[in-house]
Structure 1
Amino acid sequence: MPENRSDKVSAVTEWVREELEKNADPSYREFHRSLVPGLENFLGVRVPKLREISRKAAREDYWSFAREADRETYEELMIRGMMIGYARLTREEQRRELENFVPLINNWAVCDCCCSTYKFMKKDQEEWFAFLRTYAASDKEYEIRFALVSMLDFFINEDYIDQVLEILGQVRHEGYYVKMAAAWAVSICYVKFPEKTEEFLRKNLLDDFTHNKSIQKIRESYRVSKEDKERLKTLRRNPG
C-alpha cells in the first residue's frame, strides 16, 4: 500500500481509488449498467476484484475508508459494505457499522453482494436474527431486502425456517426488489424444507406476483424433482 500522498484522504482510501481506476472495464461497465437500473457513478470493476480490494483494505485500515468512502460511487459503496464482513470488528462494532451502512444501500447488487460477506451472522444467530427482524419490518425497500437476503444466506435452517416463513408471509411492500427477494427466499426455503414451504404456499399469504414468482423460481431449480414441479404448477394464481 502506498504512502499517503494526499492531505485529504488516508493511504488506504488513496490505494482503493487507484485500484478501482486500474481495474475499471468499460465493456463490463456498460453490461452491468443494464442489470442495475439507475446506476450512474460506476467505473466497471468486477465483483471478485472488489472483494479482493475489500479484504486488503479491511486488514489495513477499516475505519479510515469507512469514514472517507464516496457514498455516491457504486464501487466505493460496495467496498464500504463488504469490508464490514472482512474487518476484525467486535460484535457491537459490526452492529453499529451495519446500522450506519444499511440505510446507504440503493440497489440490489450492493445489497446482495455485501450480505453474502456477513458470515459472522452464522454465529450468535439469535442476536442477529433479532437484528434482521427490525429491518424486515421497515418501510424502506432496500432495508427489507437486506433483511430477506441475509436470512436466505444464513438462516434457512432447522432453527429458523419457521420464523423465516412467518416473516415472508408478513412482509408488505410494493417494491419490486422486495418482492423478488421474497420469492428468492421462498425458493431456497423450498429446496431445503419442501414440505414446510409448500404448506406455506398453500396458505396464500403472499401477493400474487410474489406467490407466482416464488413458484417459478422453485420450478427453475435443478434440485426440485419433476413431480414436485408439476404439482407446484397447479398452485399458481391467475390474477384477473
Structure 2
Amino acid sequence: MIDHLLQPLICERFLKDARYREGHLRVVNALPERRVVGLHSPEIKQVAKQLSREGGEVVMPDGTCRICANGAEVIRAFEAVPSEILCYEETVIWGYLINLEKCSLDERLAMLGRYVPVLDNWAVCDSYCAHAKWIARADKAVLWAFLERWFDSESEFEVRFAVVVAMCYFLNEEWLDKVFERINGLDFGRIKSKYKTAKGKPKVAQQGTVQGAEPYYVRMGVAWLLATALAKFPYQTRAFVRSSNLPADVIKLYIRKARESFRTRTVEAV
C-alpha cells in the first residue's frame, strides 16, 4: 500500500548481502506469508512520522490511489483492507500511527481494538508497546479494563500484547498483584499459535518456526515480564513464582531471562 515510500529506504546491505538479509529475516521471524521489505527501525519510524504529519498517497488493493490528508486517514486506509496484504513494515507503521495520533483515550482504544487482532509477530507487537508512551498518562483503570479482553484471548499475539503492555506500564505497587493474578490465570493450552515448533536444532531456522513449546511468544513474554518484575520487586516476584501455577518451562525461561539481564544476573530468581 505504501511500497513507494518504503522501497527507497531499504538498507542496501539487505539487498546485496544474502547472509545479512537472512539474519534480518531470522530475527524478525515473520510468518512465511508476511512479506518483509527490509527496512530498519529508524526508517520505519521516519515513514510513520511523515505520514502522521503530512498524510500521503496509499495504493489500495484494486490499484486505485487514495490521497490521505493525515495519519488518521492512513489508519483508516489500513483498516479498510485485509491485513494479510500488508507487509511487515506496514503493520509496524500502522501501530506507530495510532501512537502518534492526537485524540481522546476512547478514540485511541477504538483504533487499537481494530489493530491488535492484526498482530502476528513479536517484533510488531513489541514495537507498538514500547512506543505507546501515551499509556503512561492514560487512566490506568480504563486501560486495564481494555487489556482484560486480550488476556482472555485465544490468539498468541493478542495475549502477548496484554502481557507486554502490563510489563511496560503496570509493574508498580498499585498494579503488581493484578498483573501477577492475570499471568497466573493464563491457560497456555488454549492459546493458539501459527508458529510451529522446529524439530531438533536446524542449522538454518525456518521462518514461522520457534525453538520451544507453543505458544512460544506468550511463554517468552511472561518470562520477560517476570524477569522485569524481579528487578523492581524481587521479594514479591520470588514469592509469586514459588506459589504460581505457571508451567515449568515458563519458569525455566524466566530464570534464563533473569540470568541474562545485568539488572538481575546476581539476584536470586526463585
TM-score, normalised to structure 2, is 0.75
Q: Would you say 1:134 and 2:149 are equivalent positions? A: yes
Could you say if the C-alpha distance between residues 196 and 142 of structure 1 is closer, same or farther in structure 2, counting changes exceeding 3 Å? Answer: same
Cα deviation, 1:150-179, whole Å, max 9, x if unaligned, reads 111111112111111111111122411110
Q: Residue 76 of structure 2 is aligned with which of 60, 67, 82?
A: 67
Task: Tell whether 2:243 aligns with 1:203.
Answer: yes
Q: CA deviation at 1:112?
A: 0.5
Give the drift of 1:138. Answer: 0.9
Cα distance in 2 for partners of 1:46, 1:171 equals 33
1:40-189 mapped onto 2 (5 Å cutoff): 40-60=34-54, 61-69=70-78, 71=83, 72-122=86-136, 123-173=138-188, 174-189=214-229
Instruction: Choose 25-34 or 165-174, whichever is displaced more.
Output: 25-34
| Number of matched pairs | 216
Q: CA deviation at 1:37?
A: 4.3
Structure 2 equivalent of residue 4 of structure 1: none
Deviations 1:104-141 (A, max 9, x none): 11111111101112222112111111111211111111
Rounded to whole Å, the distance in 1 between the matches of 2:170 and 2:110 is 21
Asked whether the 8 Å contact 2:227–2:264 carries over to 1, the reply is no
The letter for the 1-side match of 2:31 is: G
Q: 2:258 aligns with which of 198, 204, 218?
A: 218
CA RMSD of aligned residues (A): 1.8
Does structure 2 retain, via aligned residues, the 8 Å contact 1:190–1:197? Answer: yes
Does 1:24 pair with 2:10? Answer: yes
Distance in 1 between residues matched to 2:87 and 2:218, nearest whole Å: 23
Decide whether the 8 Å contact of 1:59 with 1:87 is kept in 2: no
* Structure 1: distance between partners of 2:74 and 2:142: 27
RCO higher in structure (CA 8 A, sep ≥6): 2
Counterpart-to-counterpart distance in 2, 1:33 and 1:225: 29
Please give the alpha-carbon distance, in whole angstroms, between the structure 2 residues aligned to 1:23 and 1:88: 27
Verify: 1:34 aligned to 2:26, yes or no: yes
How far residue 197 of structure 1 moved from its aligned partner, in angstroms, is 0.2
What is the aligned partner in structure 1 of residue 205 from structure 2?
none
User: Residue 129 of structure 2 contacts residue 164 of structure 2 at CA under 8 Å; is this kept in 1?
Assistant: yes
**Alpha carbons of structure 1 residues 132 and 29: separation in structure 2 relative to 1, 3 Å:** farther
Q: Secondary structure at the match of 1:44?
A: coil
TM-score of the two chains, using structure 1 as the length reference: 0.84
Higher helix fraction: Structure 1 or Structure 2?
A: 1
Contact residue 150 and residue 162 of structure 2 kept, 8 A:
yes
Unmatched 5+ residue regions in structure 1? 1-12, 236-240
- Structure 1: which amino acid aligns with 2:4? E
* Structure with the larger strand share: 2
Q: Which amino acid aligns with 1:199?
A: A
- Report sequence identity in percent: 30
Q: Where does the alignment leave 5 or more consecutive residues of structure 2 unmatched?
A: 55-69, 189-213
Distance in 2 of aligned mates of 1:59 and 1:157: 34
